[in-house]
């Protein structure tokens, strides 16, 4: 589980622990508190660091589900985006997921499913130029992986969470209506995390892009 220290990633990790799984949590910045959920082991890893990710994940041969939730979300227009910003965003959001998937599929793990946390910004959203581009790359990677891993019985899907109460939201947004969400309200991370765990368990679905609480007109 990447991006497991906060937000949707932390909630998803808790959802898997609640279903009886032991979770290998990967994140760059864990909170100082030590009360992580039983069943969750915290590893400080930058998913864009190929060597570090490989060294960690190669130790495990029993990974059944993989969720890529690590992400950075620079808020900037195309005109204000620079090369360094774009590179970091793509390294984490797209290449980081690719790195982790590649390592896991090359182990002896009995992998059953991969869920990549994408975004409706992949279809274009103002002031999210490089973020949207990185998530579009992640959707393409999801579909390709679904085709390539089907013969091994591995399902690979992407999810599009609606507006969710996380640290990525601009200040004040959490108190506003969320017209993109079918409930009209900002969602709680725990609800999104539970839905992501549900997607991981879908036995006959692969290569899909699945909205979570998001109206069709939003993507």
| Chain segment 26-43, per-residue pLDDT in tens | 999 897 654 566 799 999
**In sequence order, what E strands does the chain have?**
23-27, 40-44, 65-68, 113-117, 155-161, 209-212
Active site members = 131
The token duo for 6 is 């906060």
Phi, psi dihedral angles at 87 (to 5 degrees): -65, -45
Q: What is the mean pLDDT of residues 97-101?
A: 97
Sheet holding 113-117, edge to edge: 65-68, 113-117, 155-161, 209-212
Q: Give CA–CA dist 110/157, Å, rounded.
A: 17
* Percent of the chain residues topping a pLDDT of 90: 81
Say yes or no to pLDDT of 112 above 60: yes
pLDDT value of residue 109: 94
Q: Chain-wide mean pLDDT for the chain?
A: 92
Q: Give CA–CA dist 21/203, Å, rounded.
A: 17
Q: What is the mean pLDDT of residues 179-207?
A: 95
pTM above 0.85, yes or no: yes
The token duo for 86 is 């774009």
Say yes or no to pLDDT of 171 above 70: no
Q: Give CA–CA dist 2/66, Å, rounded.
A: 8
pLDDT value of residue 217: 78
pLDDT value of residue 178: 87
- Cα R_g (the chain), whole angstroms: 16
pLDDT value of residue 38: 78
pLDDT tens string 15-28: 999 999 999 999 99
Say yes or no to pLDDT of 218 above 90: no
Q: What is the mean pLDDT of residues 75-104?
A: 94
Say yes or no to pLDDT of 121 above 80: yes
Q: Give CA–CA dist 141/44, Å, rounded.
A: 25
| Closest to 213 measured CA to CA, from 195, 200, 197, 198 | 195
Q: What is the mean pLDDT of residues 72-89?
A: 92
Say yes or no to pLDDT of 174 above 60: no
Q: Give CA–CA dist 5/53, Å, rounded.
A: 16
């Amino acid at each position: 589980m990447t991006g497991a220290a906060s937000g949707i990633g932390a909630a998803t990790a808790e959802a898997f622990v609640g279903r009886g799984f032991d979770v290998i949590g990967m994140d760059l910045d864990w909170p100082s508190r030590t009360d992580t959920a039983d069943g969750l082991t915290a590893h400080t890893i930058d998913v864009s660091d190929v060597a570090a990710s490989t060294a960690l994940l190669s130790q495990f041969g029993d990974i059944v589900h993989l969720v890529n939730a690590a992400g950075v979300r620079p808020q900037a227009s195309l005109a204000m985006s620079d090369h360094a910003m774009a590179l970091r965003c793509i390294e984490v959001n797209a290449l980081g997921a690719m790195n982790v998937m590649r390592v896991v599929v090359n182990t002896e793990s009995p992998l059953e499913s991969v869920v990549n946390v994408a975004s409706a910004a992949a279809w274009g959203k103002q002031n999210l130029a490089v973020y949207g581009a990185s998530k579009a790359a992640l959707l393409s990677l999801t579909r390709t992986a679904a085709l390539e891993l089907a013969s091994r019985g591995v399902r690979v899907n992407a999810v599009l969470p609606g507006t969710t109460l996380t640290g990525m939201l601009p200040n004040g947004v959490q108190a506003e209506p969320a017209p993109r969400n079918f409930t009209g309200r900002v969602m709680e991370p725990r609800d999104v995390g539970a839905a992501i765990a549900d997607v991981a368990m879908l036995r006959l679905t692969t290569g899909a892009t699945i909205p979570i609480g998001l109206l069709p007109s939003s993507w």
